[in-house]
Amino acid sequence: MNRSKKLTAMMMASAMVLTMASGVSAEEGSDEERMTLQLWTSNRDAMENEDAYYVKKIEDEFNVDIEMCYRNEGAGDYQEWLTLALSSDDAPDWFRDQAIGTAMLQSYADQGLVAELDPEMIKENMPNLMAYYEKYSDIFGEDPLHLYEVDGSIYSIPDAFPPSAQFCLMAVRQDWLDAVGLEAPKTLDEFTEVLRAFTKNDPDGDGVDNTYGYVGITGSPMWGFSPIFGAFGITPDIWYAKEDGTITRGELEVEPMKAALTYIKGLIDEGLVDPDWMTMDFNDSQNKVVSSVDGVVWQNWISILDKESGWYSALYQSDEDVSFYVTDGPVGENGDHGVMQFNPLAGVGLCFSVEMEDEPEKMAKYMQVFDAIAGDPQWLEAEIWGVEGETFQYTEDGGREYIGTYTDEDARTAYGIGTCYAFPSLEVYQYDPETMDSIMYSAETYKVRNETIGLCQGRWNILGSYPNAAFEAMGTEYPEYFNNAITEILMGQRPVKDYADIVQEWLDNGGQEAVDCAQELYNQHFGN
C-alpha cells in the first residue's frame, strides 16, 4: 500500500475509533476491541510493577491494556537504542524525547523508519492539542503541524514546554548585600558597585580575600555574561526578532556588542569577575556559588530558590542565613534588561514508527488517549499525587502533601504513581503552566514560582527548532569562532574596535546566507 492510500486508511480507521469511543460500536451490540498500548519508562521498578495505580487507571478509563517497556537513560544511549530499534523488528510504537532533534527526524524519515502523519487525523483525534497550539501560537507559529515537516510531509506532532520561556533569573547573594551595606543593584552603575564590594569588602566575613563579584553559568562568554548583555539590549547565541521583524543574533549587533564588551572587560580588568570564568562548565559554576566564592550568577529559578533540592541547596543547608535576591538583570542606559531564556520547543514532539502505518486504529487510539490525559489537569494530579486520603492530602494553603509512607519516593513508585509512569513518557505532555504549575509543585514552591515568574524576562531562541541548512553547515565552528574572538577581546589580546571586522568576516564566509535563511524561516512560521 502506498503512503497516500495508507493515510486515507488512517482517516477511515480514525473515524471508526472515534465512533466506537463515543459508545456506538461499528457493529450494533459488539464491544470495542481492547488494544495494547506501550508505556515507556526508565525506571526498572516501575516497569515490573504489575499493579501500578496510574497504569490501571489508564487501562480502566480507556479500555486498553498497557505494556510497560524500558527505554534507555541518557540522551546518547537513548538515541543509539532508538535508531537500532526503529531499524529492527522491535520498533517502538511511538517515541517522544527531547534528545531527538530535526536532523535525526530527517534521517529517520529518509530511511522510512517513521510513520507519515495526516494532519486531519491529528486534528480529529487531538482537539485538546489544537486548542493548545492556538493558546501558545507565539511559540508554535501559525502552522504548528508543519513545524518539523520533512520534504513537505509530517512525521511528528510538535509539543512544547512553555515554562522554559520564563525560566531564568539573575541571583545576587542578599546576605552579602546586607553584610556590605548595599541595596540590590538596579542599574549598571549599582551593579558594578555591588561586584566591587563583593570582591573587595569581605562579604562572607572570614577576613580572607577569597570572594569575587560575578560568575557565569558556563565558560562561553556569550552565555556566561547574559544578564550584562541584556542591559545593552542584546542576547548573543540565539536567533530572535527585533521590533521591526528583522531576525538577528545578539553577537551580530556590532555597536551594542562593542559597548557591552567594553563594560565587561572593565569588570574583568578590575578583578571583579571570577578569574576562572573562561574554563567554567555548569558544575564548576555551581560549586563556586555553593562554596561562597562568587556572589552573583544566573540560573533557572528553581535551581536558585529550591532550598531542598535545587542547585544551591547545599549552600542553604550549610548556612541558614543564606538568601538570594533575584532579578532579570541590571537595567542599561536605554532601559534594556533581561536574561537568556530556554527554548520551549525541545525535541520534535511525538512520532510513530513506520509499522504503525499498518495499524491506523491503534495510532488513532494513542492520539486520543494522549490527548485526553494531556487536556485534563486531574490526570496530572493522579500521576504525581495519587489518591486523596490514601497517598496525599490537601493542605490549608491550597497545596498538596504526601501522607504516611508515601512521603518516600520508593513507596510511591511501588504504589504506582510518579513521573516514571507518565503517559506519554518524560516531560508532561501539552504542559499548561496556568493549570498545571499548582499541581506540579508543592504549595511553597508554587508560591515562589508565582513571585518570580514576572522576573523571568528575556529572549529565547525563536528559531531553535527550525532547520537552517546554511547555519547548521557551520557546525561547532560557529560558536567557537565568536566565543574565541570575544574571549580574546575580553582578555585584552584584541581591541574592541576589531569587533565589526569579526562580524563582517563571518558574514562574508557563509554567515549572510544563514541570516537570510533565518529571516525566511521566521517570515514563514510567524507570518511577517
Q: What pLDDT, in 10s, does the model give residues 217-248?
A: 999 999 999 999 999 999 999 999 999 999 99
pLDDT score at 430: 93
Mean pLDDT of the 509-519 span: 94
Per-domain residue ranges of the chain: 3-161+345-389, 168-340+468-526
The 10s digit of each residue's pLDDT in 108-136 is: 999 999 999 999 999 999 999 999 999 99
Rounded CA gap, 400 and 381, in Å?
10
| Under 8 Å between Cβ of 461 and 239 | yes
* pLDDT tens-digit series, residues 489-499: 999 999 999 99
Please check the confidence at residue 8 and state whether its pLDDT lies above 60: no
d(CA 55, CA 422): 9
- Place 32 in a pLDDT band, splitting at 50, 70 and 90: low
Nearest CA to 465 among 165, 43, 30?
165
Residue 72: pLDDT over 90: no
pLDDT tens track for 315-331 = 999 999 999 999 999 99
- Rounded CA-CA distance 525/491 in Å is 40
pLDDT (tens digit, 9 = 90+) per residue, 133-154? 999 998 998 889 998 999 999 9
Q: Is 189 exposed, middle or buried (0-12, 13-18, 19+ CB in 10 A)?
A: exposed
Is the pLDDT reported for residue 528 higher than 60? no
Block residue for cell numbers 568576516? 505
Q: Coil, strand or helix: which one is 16?
A: helix
N- to C-terminal Cα separation, the chain:
40
What letter represents residue 208's amino acid?
Answer: V
Q: What is the pLDDT of residue 268?
A: 98
Q: Residue 74: pLDDT above 80?
A: no
- Per-residue pLDDT tens for 160-212? 999 999 999 999 999 999 999 999 999 999 999 999 999 999 999 999 999 99
311 has a pLDDT exceeding 60: yes
Fold category of 3-161+345-389 in CATH: D-Maltodextrin-Binding Protein; domain 2 (3.40.190)
Q: Which residues contact 223 (CB under 8 A, 6 or more apart)?
A: 216, 217, 236, 237, 340
Q: Is 321 helix (H, G, I), strand (E, B) or coil?
A: coil
Model confidence band, residue 9 (pLDDT cutoffs 50, 70, 90): very low
Cell of 513: 546566507
Helices 477-490 and 499-506 cross at an angle (nearest 10°) of 170
As a whole number, the mean pLDDT across the chain is 91
pTM of the model: 0.85
Span 28-45, mean pLDDT?
A: 81
Q: How confident is the model at residue 442, as a pLDDT?
A: 85
Report for 345-349, 465-469, 505-509: range of highest mean pLDDT? 505-509
**Model confidence pLDDT, tens digit, residues 56-70:** 999 999 999 999 999
Report the pLDDT averaged over residues 360-384: 95
pLDDT of residue 520: 93
Among the listed residues 332, 207, 195, 197, the one whose alpha carbon sits nearest the alpha carbon of residue 272: 195
Query: In the prediction, which pLDDT does 472 show?
Result: 81
Topology of 168-340+468-526 in CATH?
Answer: D-Maltodextrin-Binding Protein; domain 2 (3.40.190)
Is there a contact between 346 and 202 (Cβ–Cβ < 8 Å)?
no
pLDDT per residue over 273-288, tens digit each? 999 999 999 999 999 9
Please say whether the beta carbons of 250 and 236 come within 8 A. Answer: yes
- Do 168-340+468-526 and 3-161+345-389 fall under one CATH topology? yes
